[in-house]
Structure 1
Amino acid sequence: MFARLALSLCFALGLFGSVSAASLAEKRGAIELGRALAKTHCATCHAIGTRGVSPNPQAPRFRNIGERYPIDNLAEAFSEGILVGHGPMPEFQFEPDQIDGLIAYLKSVQSPAKKGKKRAPK
């Protein structure tokens, strides 16, 4: 009983960090923006979800991008334009809120054991 009361008090006082309903809604909004951008700009070549294969076999699946690159490091590439070596990829440049959305979405679809981690060399 005391533990439940203490937990309720901590939430009421905001002692569990900056997680609030507003910040959770903002995060969900960023993920949804990223999902929409990925569907519009990326899905013709990439598998953008948590399952499936990429329509272009050379295009990495979004859920595995974290094995190749730290996800947060992709923000610069999104702002300057993405140039890659997997065939005819259009050049994209995104606005800061779009970049935040793409990063949030990419993080949300990573394979659970590999979120944001680079694969160790073999």
Structure 2
Amino acid sequence: MALLLHQPAAQALEPHAQRGYAFLQANCARCHAVGRAGGSPLAEAPPFRTLHERYPVENLAEALAEGITTGHPSMPEFSLDPGQVDDVIAYLKTLKK
């Protein structure tokens, strides 16, 4: 139930961002906080709302497409198709606001 409390309002997100949120919720929320509040379930996994503090989220597009191989020790290696990359970046941009 707690995950639902931190879910962004669907009507507030554009379709790309909605799909990006859904992807992150399904694939990353086990370790990372993917919403605007709350801590990451895995301490060494940074909350996604802080990624823009480290670098422009647009710069993540290439890493998402080619496959992220770094991160926290238990992070699986994966890559996204171009549409998924656009969706995830669109959602991450909403977290800067």
TM-score range, shorter chain: 0.7 to 0.9
Pairing partner for 1:61 from 29, 37, 47: 47
Pairing partner for 1:46 from 32, 39, 51: 32
Give the partner amino acid of 1:69.
Y
In the TM superposition, structure 1's runs of 4+ consecutive aligned residues that sit over 3 Å from their partners are none
CA shift for structure 1 position 48 = 0.2
Whose Rg is larger?
A: 1
Alignment of 1:1-122 (within 5 A): 28-110=14-96, 112=97
Give the partner amino acid of 1:95.
D
CA shift for structure 1 position 33 = 0.7
Q: TM-score, normalised by structure 1?
A: 0.66
Q: TM-score, normalised by structure 2?
A: 0.83
CA shift for structure 1 position 85 = 3.5
Give the partner amino acid of 1:97.
G
- Separation (CA, whole Å) in 2 of partners of 1:105 and 1:45: 18
Q: Secondary structure at the match of 2:37?
A: coil
- Separation (CA, whole Å) in 1 of partners of 2:83 and 2:65: 10
How many aligned residue pairs are there?
85
Q: Percent identity?
A: 48
Structure 1 unmatched ranges of 5 or more: 1-26, 113-122
Structure 2 unmatched ranges of 5 or more: 1-12
Give the partner amino acid of 1:77.
A
Q: Per the alignment, do residues 77 and 28 of structure 1 end up closer, same or farther by CA in structure 2, a change over 3 Å counting?
A: same
